[in-house]
Structure 1
């Protein structure tokens, strides 16, 4: 992995107005289908936990690394996130205890009571935005709003097939670059090309198959790679 001089990539000082495993996620293949739902619907509105059995544990593999010299994102981090699922009050609701990373990497998360959505989506995005805002010295609210707007206006949703449990199942791939064309994008010093990719499938417990945020330089240098993927072996 090539090191990228921090002075050439991140001249820190962005000031803005208030504004499967992670390493080996199988590549989805495109499938023929009718009109797809919206990105926001797939990620935030679906009762994703309805197919997560009470008493089960959902495990995600997580990876974050950066080739930027002097490591503003910190040392590479490879860990897991586990969700212990218990019944909620409503039929599709679940009570969940989340262990986000381990040991000194542990982050506070939950508990979540009687939720129908998968908390891994907001947890991943919150963790990502906080790290990004620290590196860029940007207001996290501005970054959150840009990502939210990108989901509404810039996301493409594609029906695909993915391997799961020994067979090919229906899924959706969501892709977007929310900071391209943003008024503050040029002040992100290369990270304005961050590409977010999400894969969801109703066949997978919790429906979230993978999430990632990736940025590279024009010559292929790695600015940021952050991935989270459903661990089938642990399921």
Structure 2
């Protein structure tokens, strides 16, 4: 069993600001928008919206997750690339067992990622205000993407970090969770659309990252959707994480 310090995990994944802040989540104004998982393109920043990094990395996402709760997420991945460098289609789950932290605002977590031959070592997080499922998803995604592209993972990581800080769009949205429509935020980033070496990315300059968060959801992460399409419309990669409120 590995013991993680959450700030170190975030630095390893994206070198974004550490998840040490415990500011309350900003409440979005109600506004209709496509459901989580739908393709989205970056647009102008919504007036009054928080920044992407504030929503994803600087918010106390676990304060509303009661100790004893199990947070479950459905994970899927598909690629239509000939030769299957990403491997066969995947459908699996990530589970987080929530326990009290040292303060009322933080939690201790045990994270079980995938099952069977894909099972990764159980990870533990102490006094975490931020939801580690975001970091674990991105770590896994970055590792696989760097292997397929035979590229430098630091270059890819830095491009995503820069996009989230400088060019990501943030817009209010509405999401349906457990039969209830609630307000949330959608963050969309395209890190490689203007990349100086995008011709070497073999179509992955089209990668679009869409994150949906909602303050009323335990752990706040509703969905993560990563997509890249080839010029002829084929699916280079479709990778997604979706909160499952009743999976347990």
Q: What is the TM-score with the length of structure 2 in the denominator?
A: 0.80
Q: Does 1:233 pair with 2:246?
A: yes
Map 1:2-17; keep pairs closer than 5 Å. none
Give the match for residue 42 of structure 1: 55
Q: How far apart are 1:97 and its partner, in Å?
A: 0.4
Give the match for residue 105 of structure 2: 92
Secondary structure of residue in 2 paired with 1:149:
helix
Q: Deviations over 1:66-106 (max 9, x none)?
A: 00010011111110000000000011111000000011101
Q: Does 1:220 pair with 2:228?
A: no
Q: What is the TM-score with the length of structure 1 in the denominator?
A: 0.85
Q: Deviations over 1:115-160 (max 9, x none)?
A: 0000011111110000000001111111111000010111000101
CA distance in 2, matches of 1:119, 1:167: 25
Aligned residues: 208
Cα contact 1:109–1:123 (8 A) shared by 2:
no
**Structure 2: stretches of 5+ with no match in the other structure:** 1-34, 40-45
Give the match for residue 175 of structure 1: 188
RMSD: 1.7
CA distance in 1, matches of 2:174, 2:163: 24
Give the match for residue 75 of structure 1: 88
List structure 1 runs of 4+ shifted beyond 6 angstroms: none
Cα contact 2:69–2:97 (8 A) shared by 1:
yes
CA distance in 1, matches of 2:137, 2:122: 11
Q: How far apart are 1:25 and its partner, in Å?
A: 5.0
CA distance in 2, matches of 1:222, 1:27: 14
Map 1:103-122; keep pairs closer than 5 Å. 103-122=116-135
Cα contact 1:59–1:81 (8 A) shared by 2:
yes
Cα contact 1:61–1:228 (8 A) shared by 2:
yes
